[in-house]
């Protein structure tokens, strides 16, 4: 919970700049998701910077080829090592402290504690590959391999957006109200209690009486009980982590 306290006491007065570098064949995919809401504001406030690196710019051949046939045969193409490693190394030259992540379904499953941990770095590179495969030698040039879950996507672009948003939210000043971090599901290894807003009755469904009582201690007790009940029902695995 240390990071939450830090976020609250530091606030926006102590600007933390974190740079995300993304190596991708599809930089155009990142436009809209990074130009809205929290990530847009975080960039405007210089809390985070996102730099897109088009992998083709790191190819040395005329046709800017990034993949090739697999040795030993088989279906699909394999991403060539040279452009990827050239891009990774170029970023390391200008940002020696950078931590490099390879987005792959073979990686360790990304969780909230990884977002907290990775938010401590000032520079992160996320390498997006096509799912079919990357030359094995690329692996020795990255620090971690990250998966966002046990399913296959076409490439690492969407996973890298997920990871960047989860990390950016942990950077002090990025969320308007740092206190909201305290309540969030997973921050305390529990799901959140149900939320309600007006109207008081909607299609015969009523807001629980206790929330209208104005008794803050009572409301807090109810929320804790509901959070525990919900976690037991939906994600009992989380309780073993508490």
Least Å distance, CB 26 to ligand ADE, is 13
Residue (131 or 141) nearer to ligand ADE, CB: 131
* The binder of ligand ADE chosen from 7, 50, 148, 171 (CB under 6 A): 148
CA distance 194 to 74: 50
Size of the site for ligand ADE (CB under 6 A): 13
Radius of gyration of the chain (CA): 22
Q: In what order do the strands lie in the sheet with 99-109?
A: 48-54, 18-24, 123-128, 99-109, 144-147
Based on the shown chain and the rule CB under 6 A, indicate whether residue 127 belongs to the binding site for ligand ADE: no
| CA gap 44, 21 in Å, rounded | 17
> Is residue 167 close enough to count as binding ligand ADE by CB under 6 A?
no
3-class secondary structure for 30-95?
Answer: HHHHHCCHHHHHHHHCCCEEEEEEEHHHHCCCCCCCCEECCCCCCCCCEECHHHHHHHHHHHHHHC
CB of 115 to ligand ADE, least distance (A): 15
Contact call for residue 131 and ligand ADE (CB under 6 A): yes
Judge whether 47 and 18 are in contact, CB under 8 Å.
yes
| Per CB under 6 A, 104 contacts ligand ADE | yes
Per CB under 6 A, which region of 36-44, 143-151, 187-195, 217-225 contacts ligand ADE?
A: 143-151
Residue labelled with tokens 């240390």: 2
Q: Select from 47, 126, 156, 173 the one that contacts ligand ADE (CB under 6 A).
A: 156
- For ligand ADE, give the closer residue by CB, 168 or 178: 168
Residue from 79, 103, 116, 167 that binds ligand ADE (CB under 6 A)?
A: 103
Give the closest residue to 156 by CA, choosing from 107, 115, 118.
107
100 binds ligand ADE (CB under 6 A): no
Does 187 interact with ligand ADE (rule: CB under 6 A)?
no
Alpha helical stretches, state H, the chain: 2-10, 31-34, 37-44, 81-94, 112-118, 157-168, 180-183, 216-234, 236-239
- 105 versus 194: smaller Cβ distance to ligand ADE: 105
Handedness of CA 189, 190, 191, 196 (dihedral sign): negative
* Residue 115 contacts ligand ADE per CB under 6 A: no
- Minimum gap (Å) between residue 186 Cβ and ligand ADE: 18
Q: What is the DSSP letter of 134?
A: B
Which of helix, strand or coil describes residue 3?
helix
Which among 81-89, 103-111, 200-208, 229-237 is the span making contact with ligand ADE, rule CB under 6 A?
103-111
Among 39, 87, 98, 159, binds ligand ADE (CB under 6 A): 159
Which residues in this chain contact ligand ADE in the complex, by CB under 6 A? 103-105, 131, 147-149, 151-153, 155-156, 159
């Amino acid at each position: 919970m240390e990071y939450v306290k830090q976020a609250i006491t530091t606030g926006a007065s102590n600007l933390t700049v974190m740079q995300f570098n993304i190596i991708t064949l599809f930089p155009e995919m990142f436009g809209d998701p990074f130009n809205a809401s929290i990530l847009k504001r975080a960039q405007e406030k210089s809390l985070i910077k996102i730099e897109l690196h088009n992998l083709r710019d790191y190819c040395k051949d005329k046709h800017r080829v990034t993949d090739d046939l697999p040795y030993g045969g088989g279906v699909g193409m394999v991403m060539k090592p040279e452009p990827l490693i050239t891009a990774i190394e170029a970023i390391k030259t200008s940002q020696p402290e950078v931590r490099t992540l390879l987005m792959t379904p073979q990686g360790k499953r990304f969780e909230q504690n990884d977002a907290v941990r990775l938010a401590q770095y000032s520079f992160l590179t996320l390498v997006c590959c096509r799912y079919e495969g990357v030359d094995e030698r690329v692996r020795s040039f990255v620090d971690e391999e990250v998966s966002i879950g046990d399913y296959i996507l076409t490439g690492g672009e969407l996973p890298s957006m997920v990871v960047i948003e989860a990390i950016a939210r942990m950077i002090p000043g990025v969320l308007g109200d740092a206190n909201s971090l305290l309540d969030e599901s997973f921050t305390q290894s529990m799901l959140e209690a149900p939320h309600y807003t007006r109207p008081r009755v909607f299609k015969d469904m009523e807001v629980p009486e206790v929330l209208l009582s104005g008794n803050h201690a009572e409301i807090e007790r109810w929320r804790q009980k509901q959070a525990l009940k919900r976690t037991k029902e939906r994600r009992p695995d989380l309780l073993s982590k508490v």
